[in-house]
C-alpha cells in the first residue's frame, strides 16, 4: 500500500509538469552541485539507487566536483549535461566499507566515506544508538518507563522502548 501511494505521488509530480519545471529551473539557476548523504549501506536497495544515480546524474568524487564548481581556471567544457552529484557516507559505519565500498567499486561509482576519528580509535558508541544498546543489553524481561511497562521478550516492545528512550 505504501509503495502504491509513493507511485501515485510520483505520477502526480510527473504528469502535473512539476518535474519538468524543476529541471528547467535548475538549468536556469546556473552551476550547482547535489550532495547526497547516506549513513548506512544496508537495509535498502543500494545497488538500485547507485544504478539510478549513475544513469541520471554525473557522479563525481567530492574533490573533483568542488574543483569544477569553484575553480574557474580549471573549468572544462562539460559535454555531459546531467546534473553533478556527489555521494557520501557519513559516520564510518562498518557496512559503509563492507557493502557501499564494494558495490561502488563494482559499479565504478565514486563515493566518499567520512569517518569520525574519535570513534574509530575507541570503543565508544554513537550517542544516537545508546537507546538501542541499552535495550539490547538489558538483563530483565520488563522495564517501566514513564508509567508504561515494556515486555522485552517481545521484539516489537523492544523497538518501542528504544524509541521511547531516544525521544
Residue-wise pLDDT for 10-41, tens only, equals 777 778 887 777 777 766 666 788 999 998 88
Same domain, 39 and 119: yes
CA distance linking residue 113 with residue 101, whole number of Å: 8
* Cα distances (angstroms) measured from residue 19 to each of 3, 23, 37, 41: 19, 6, 22, 28
Q: Please report, rounded to a whole number, the percentage of residues in the chain having pLDDT higher than 90.
A: 26
- Over 60: is that where the pLDDT of 77 sits? yes
Same domain, 79 and 143: no
Same domain, 98 and 133: no
Same domain, 44 and 106: yes
CA distance linking residue 161 with residue 135, whole number of Å: 7
- Over 70: is that where the pLDDT of 55 sits? yes
Provide the residue range defining the domain that includes 136.
125-167
Same domain, 4 and 65: no
Q: Tell me which residue of 31, 122, 121, 15 sits closest to 72, measured CA to CA.
A: 31
Same domain, 14 and 69: no
Same domain, 104 and 161: no
Residues 85/59, Cβ–Cβ less than 8 Å: yes
Considering only residues 80 and 24, tell me which one the structure prediction assigns the higher pLDDT.
80
Give the pairing of strands 142-145 and 148-151.
Answer: antiparallel
- Over 80: is that where the pLDDT of 85 sits? yes
- Over 60: is that where the pLDDT of 48 sits? yes
Same domain, 118 and 131: no
| pLDDT for res 12 | 75
List beta partners, residue 143: 150
Q: Provide the grid cell at 112.
A: 566518499
- Over 70: is that where the pLDDT of 80 sits? yes
Considering only residues 96 and 75, tell me which one the structure prediction assigns the higher pLDDT.
96
Q: Tell me which residue of 70, 86, 82, 65 sits closest to 23, measured CA to CA.
A: 82
Same domain, 22 and 84: no
Tens digits of residue pLDDT in 104-135: 999 999 999 988 777 666 666 677 777 888 88
- Over 60: is that where the pLDDT of 1 sits? yes
Same domain, 73 and 86: yes
Same domain, 25 and 40: no
Same domain, 138 and 82: no
Residues 61/108, Cβ–Cβ less than 8 Å: no
Q: What is the pTM of this model?
A: 0.60
- Over 60: is that where the pLDDT of 67 sits? yes
Considering only residues 44 and 68, tell me which one the structure prediction assigns the higher pLDDT.
68
- Looking at the structure of the chain, the number of domains it has is 3
CATH code (residue 81): 3.20.20.370
| 115 backbone dihedrals φ, ψ, rounded to 5° | -105, 155
| pLDDT for res 72 | 62
Amino acid at each position: 500500500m505504501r509503495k502504491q501511494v509513493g507511485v501515485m505521488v510520483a505520477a502526480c509530480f510527473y504528469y502535473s509538469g512539476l518535474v519538468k519545471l524543476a529541471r528547467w529551473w535548475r538549468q536556469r539557476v546556473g552551476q550547482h552541485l547535489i550532495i547526497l548523504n547516506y549513513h548506512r549501506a544496508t537495509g535498502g536497495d543500494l545497488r538500485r539507487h547507485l544504478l539510478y544515480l549513475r544513469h541520471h546524474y554525473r557522479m563525481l568524487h567530492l574533490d573533483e566536483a568542488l574543483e569544477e564548481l569553484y575553480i574557474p581556471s580549471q573549468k572544462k567544457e562539460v559535454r555531459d549535461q546531467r546534473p553533478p552529484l556527489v555521494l557520501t557516507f557519513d559516520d564510518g559505519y562498518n557496512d559503509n566499507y563492507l557493502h557501499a565500498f564494494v558495490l561502488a567499486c563494482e559499479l565504478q561509482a565514486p563515493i566518499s566515506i567520512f569517518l569520525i576519528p574519535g570513534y574509530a580509535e575507541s570503543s565508544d558508541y554513537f550517542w544516537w544508538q545508546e537507546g538501542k544498546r541499552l535495550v539490547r543489553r538489558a538483563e530483565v524481561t520488563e522495564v517501566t518507563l514513564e508509567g508504561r511497562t515494556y515486555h522485552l521478550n517481545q521484539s516489537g516492545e523492544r523497538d518501542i522502548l528504544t524509541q521511547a528512550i531516544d525521544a
